[in-house]
Amino acid sequence: MKHEIKVPEVGESISEVVVAEWLKNDGDYVEPDDVICEIESDKASFEVPVDQAGILEIKAQVDDTVAVGDTLAIIDTEGETPESKPESEAVSEEKPEPEKPEETPEEETEKAPSRESETASEETRVSPVASNILKEAGINPNEVKGTGIGGKITKADAQRAVHAANGKEKTEPEEPPAPSKKEPSKPPRVEFSGDRETERKRMSTLRRTIAERLVSAKNDTAMLTTFNEIDMTAVMETRNQYKELFEEKHDVRLGFMSFFTRACAIAIKDFPIINAQIDGNEIVYHRYADIAIAVSTDRGLVVPVIKNADKLSYAEIEKKVNDLATRARENKLDIDEMRGGTFTISNGGIFGSLLSTPIINAPQSAILGLHKIEDRPVAVDGQVEVRPMMYVAMSYDHRIIDGKDSVQFLVRVKELIEDPSRMLLDV
């Protein structure tokens, strides 16, 4: 029986995708939940799993543009895995012995799973997606109960295991997880051969879209950047004083992003033009703060959105930031989670950037760039003191945002960060 694997719907505005990579080969035997390929839209990449077992017949090739609903592959559900043939022969050779009168059907049923679990390898017992999830979380597959066919560990099983583990264990790093910080700053080293060779790789659909939008933002906006510096002493003292209690109560680490997200949400109310955008000959003012957080991934920069950030507590913001950033790097974000946004925050400081000029995330009108915290000598009450300082930069569309508003907005953010109690008292 032939079963078609079609291009799934990945978003309301997406009508076609590009086949990025086949993770299985033509003629491979696949099982339910196995991911056979990755497809890309102009917004994100998506994995395509199968829901039936059988022999894979690939219909769409890498780099092919396919419409939603088109056939990617066909599964021959009557096909058998090559590995199963020797096993079935071996079992048939042993069958005369098992047919003893004292063995009941119930006993045979009980024995079958145990024999399978003894001979099955981790590859066949765990779906590829689940295996990656468990590996990244450091969880032994043998400790996870599978609910799939034959006890197979599915993606949902792995996610439940990770969720359960996160509820019990606490991690020590105060900043975002170390891999996300170190991997982009230390890419795999390439040794030059001296033969003057070159290598060409196809730009992903996501990367091409990012490139087009960045160029468009530079060309279609009157972009200007204003700078300031913030004394991080008060925030760091507050964070150090309460971080353990905060994590114990809310089960999430207290980072700097929640302070800046909260500060921007408050400052936006004082300067609503920062949160507005141009639509033709009109200015659209948003009466809510959907703040996007730029996240660097192996596939490119994605910008998931924290909706109604002005209504969230510090703990709720931190949980949102951690969740969105983690799933962005794992390529598990939904399109809706990257749609919209009225203002963006980008933190180049986690990679060591001291100063930069961020590019507006159109159609938004402003973006705040955070940078590395560095001890510098500053004048405090007529005395020179060494303080942890951060340069901040806000790029904005000068067509609708005047210099006065941009500067005062950034000063307002500076005031709130340097005296966090103002955010609690709303002053």
Distance between CA 4 and CA 52 in Å, rounded? 10
Helix, strand, or coil (residue 31): coil
Q: ∠ at Cα 339 (337, 340), nearest 5°?
A: 120
DSSP string, 297-336: ETTEEE--EETTGGG--HHHHHHHHHHHHHHHHTT---GG
Locus of tokens 């969740």:
323
Question: 């996300």: which residue's tokens?
Answer: 180
* Residue 402 appears among annotated catalytic residues: yes
CA distance 125 to 150: 8
Q: Single out the residue of 50, 45, 55, 25 nearest to residue 35, CA to CA.
A: 50
* Long-range Cβ pairs for the range 144-153 (8 Å, 24+): 148/32, 148/33, 149/31, 149/32, 149/53, 150/113, 150/116, 150/120, 150/125, 151/113, 151/116, 151/117, 151/125, 152/31, 152/32, 152/33, 152/124, 152/125, 152/126, 152/127, 153/125, 153/126, 153/127
Instruction: Name the residue among 287, 286, 229, 292 with its Cα closest to residue 257.
Output: 292
Structure tokens that stand for 313 in this block:
């507590």
Catalytic option among 398, 405, 419, 426: 398
295-316 burial, b at 16+ Cβ within 10 Å, e below that, comes to: bbbebbbbbbbbbebbebebbb
Other residues' Cβ atoms within 10 Å of the Cβ of residue 265: 24
Q: At 231, which helix (H) or strand (E)?
A: strand 223-231
* CA–CA separation, 97 and 314 (whole Å): 67
Choice among 402, 405, 419, 426 that is catalytic: 402
Token pair, residue 15, equals: 């009508």
Active site residue 310: no
Residues involved in catalysis: 398, 402
